A and B are shown apart, each in its own frame.
Chain A
Amino acid sequence: MTIPFISTNSSLPAVSATVIGAVLIVGLGVTMGSYWTVVALNLFMWIALTQSWSLFSGMTGYISLGHVVAYGIGAYLVAVTFKMIPLWLSIPLGGLAAGLFALIVAIPVLRVRGPYFVILTFGLAELVKYILLYTETTFGKSSRLLFGAPKTEVLLYWVAALAVIATLITYFVGRSRFGKGLAAVREDETAAETIGVPVTRLKVLAFAASAVIPGMIGGLMAMRSTYFDVLQVFNPTISFSIVTMAIIGGAGDARGPILGALFMLGLAELLWSTAPQLYFILLGLFLIGFVLFAPNGLIGLIKRRKQPKGSVS
């Protein structure tokens, strides 16, 4: 296999580790019973979402707080077309619809930076949520029952495959010409465009690309809950969780979102059923701690430890 612009030889260990790791977790999840199947499904869902988020926000530094909109659009498309078109078609279409939506809003939205971008993406996702809620209630469909959805195991295979694909995309884009251009955008847009980086085109492409897999995940997770509810699939908590995992794991490196998702789900497994209050308190403390003391997340801490002593940076 040859991918233009990048050397694939040196990537072999990383690629095989990702695939083998995913296959092992899927195998464990399925053999250990339905509870663990769901845990594995959630893990891969969050990895896929955070990895896709990182493809845009991690690389460009534009923090999107509205990524749930892609998830919701995918879920909506799959729910509306359920039993009308087969899932193998409707789920990719859901991803495509999410990507198309991002492409359309990209130009106006990407004109602002920093806190304004954060607020704008959040607001946009809420806007879409309420428009769809209004449409659905107008047509008397505030929630749709989805009988006959695939088994959790089947959904797990799909979601795990998407998590692997999202991880590999983030990994390869990071080493590509495209990824280097995005890094220049993150560092200094004026300097970037002055040395030839087509800043707007790169941002728009990354923004649209980062919505496709979340759209597909949304479609799959709609199948999982057997009914469709606008407020549930556009729940802003999904956006917040993505950003939290990216911060804790560290964005800008394909390993970061995996660590972030593992960390948060591990914490949830330990505390969620026994002490849900404590879970949120600890989550808040960890978030603050990472932002203040380890802005590059877990992956940043690991890299720092690996560095030879006495090296300056």
Chain B
Amino acid sequence: MSLLSIKSLSKNFGGLQALNQITLDVTEGSVHGLMGANGAGKTTLFSIIAGNQRATTGTILFAGQPINGLRPDQVCKRGISRTFQIVRPFAGLTVRENVEIAILYGRQTPPKVSEAAALAQDILADIGLDALSDQPAGSLTLSGRKRLEVARALGTEPRLLMLDEVMAGLTPVEVTDMIASLRRVKDSHGLTILIIEHVMSALTDMSDTITVLHHGEKIAQGTPKQIADNAAVQEAYFGIAEPLEAPA
């Protein structure tokens, strides 16, 4: 069953067609990868789903309900949470407070204020930030900020978690850690994940299905193996029609 169902979605920025007639279904419980070169429209798609931007045309159904035109806070309460590629921590607040606010505002039935700190601490432990929970978020390293993006998104108790390049700029060891953390929280929270990633090995490693965007168009969709063998993807990525190394 598809949790998220996007139909003929387009977005123009003035003359620029950032997304052109995108149709996409995300199966409940799956990890759905989204790839494409710089400027393909991946982040724009996230922004529209989350309500940060309006689609020019098209419809978005979440759990069978239309969510077009809802405000971001309303979309969040429905159960969709995104991270930002360019991280946006509440830099002047502590790491724990960042997550507490997500817990207090993002959930359909928020807990008491006095319980939020403990809940935040659990989430921070899940993704390996618990040692830094009293630090100001502004003092975190890039890897820490990426983790905080994930922790804050998890604080809202989403059904659909949308991750925008949370592994970009991380060292190989940190990438391995992040993948392990994401697998853990996906299982423990019963999440569906839509993930944008340039680190190909991470994407093929995690995804059940991958969709490829190119200049705002959907040019391919399939299993990681199918995508690696797809000639149109080769063309778009390298300008050559040679198969990528197949994923292990």
Q: List A residues at the B interface (Cβ < 8 Å).
A: 5-7, 175-177, 180-181, 183-184, 186-188, 190-199, 312-313
A127 to B112, CA, bound (A): 43
Q: Are A195 and B101 in contact (CB under 8 A)?
A: yes
Q: Are B156 and A184 in contact (CB under 8 A)?
A: no
Q: Are A180 and B114 in contact (CB under 8 A)?
A: no
Please, could you name 15 A-B residue pairs with CB atoms under 8 Å apart, sorted by A? Answer: A183-B92, A183-B93, A183-B101, A186-B92, A187-B90, A187-B92, A194-B52, A194-B72, A194-B81, A194-B84, A195-B101, A195-B106, A196-B106, A197-B101, A313-B136
Contacts A181-B105, A183-B92, A193-B52 known; 9 new A-B pairs at CB < 8 A: A7-B113, A177-B110, A183-B90, A183-B97, A190-B88, A194-B81, A194-B84, A195-B76, A196-B106
Q: Are A194 and B90 in contact (CB under 8 A)?
A: no
Q: Are B77 and A6 in contact (CB under 8 A)?
A: no
How near does chain B come to A175, taking the closest CB pair, in angstroms? 8
- Which listed residue, A6, A183, A184, A198, touches B113 by the CB 8 Å rule? A6
Bitwise, B79-90 to A at CB < 8 A (1) or not (0) is 001101000111
The answer to whether B147 has its CB under 8 Å from any CB of chain A is: no
- Which listed residue, A181, A195, A199, A312, touches B155 by the CB 8 Å rule? A195
A312 to B81, CA, bound (A): 31
Q: Are B105 and A194 in contact (CB under 8 A)?
A: no
The residues in B between 101 and 125 inclusive whose CB is less than 8 angstroms from any CB of A are 101-102, 104-107, 110, 112-114
A175 to B52, CA, bound (A): 28
Q: Which residue of A lies closest to B108 (CB)?
A: A196
A6 to B89, CA, bound (A): 25
The answer to whether B197 has its CB under 8 Å from any CB of chain A is: no
What chain B residues lie within 8 Å of A183 (beta carbons)?
90, 92-93, 97, 101
Q: Are A196 and B114 in contact (CB under 8 A)?
A: no
Q: Which residue of A lies closest to B82 (CB)?
A: A194
What chain A residues lie within 8 Å of B72 (beta carbons)?
190, 193-194
The answer to whether B193 has its CB under 8 Å from any CB of chain A is: no
A188 to B93, CA, bound (A): 11
What chain A residues lie within 8 Å of B143 (beta carbons)?
none
How near does chain A come to B131, taking the closest CB pair, in angstroms? 13
Q: Are B114 and A181 in contact (CB under 8 A)?
A: no
- Which listed residue, A180, A190, A312, touches B101 by the CB 8 Å rule? A180
What chain B residues lie within 8 Å of A196 (beta carbons)?
73, 76-77, 102, 105-107, 156
Q: Are A184 and B76 in contact (CB under 8 A)?
A: no
Q: Are A198 and B92 in contact (CB under 8 A)?
A: no
Q: Which residue of A lies closest to B94 (CB)?
A: A313
What chain B residues lie within 8 Å of A191 (beta carbons)?
84, 88-90, 152
What chain A residues lie within 8 Å of B105 (beta carbons)?
177, 181, 184, 192, 195-198
A194 to B102, CA, bound (A): 9
- Which listed residue, B71, B92, B153, touches A195 by the CB 8 Å rule? B153
Q: Are A180 and B136 in contact (CB under 8 A)?
A: no
Q: Are B156 and A187 in contact (CB under 8 A)?
A: no
Q: Are B101 and A192 in contact (CB under 8 A)?
A: yes
Q: Are B114 and A313 in contact (CB under 8 A)?
A: no
A197 to B89, CA, bound (A): 14
- Which listed residue, A175, A190, A313, touches B139 by the CB 8 Å rule? A313
The answer to whether B135 has its CB under 8 Å from any CB of chain A is: yes
How near does chain A come to B6, taking the closest CB pair, in angstroms? 19
Task: Tell me which of B73, B77, B89 has the highest count of chain A C-beta atoms within 10 A of its own C-beta.
Answer: B73
A181 to B106, CA, bound (A): 11
Q: Are B76 and A194 in contact (CB under 8 A)?
A: yes
Bitwise, B139-152 to A at CB < 8 A (1) or not (0) is 10000000000001
What chain B residues lie within 8 Å of A194 (beta carbons)?
50, 52, 72-73, 76, 81-82, 84
Q: Are A188 and B52 in contact (CB under 8 A)?
A: no
Q: Are A313 and B91 in contact (CB under 8 A)?
A: no
How near does chain B come to A308, taking the closest CB pair, in angstroms? 12
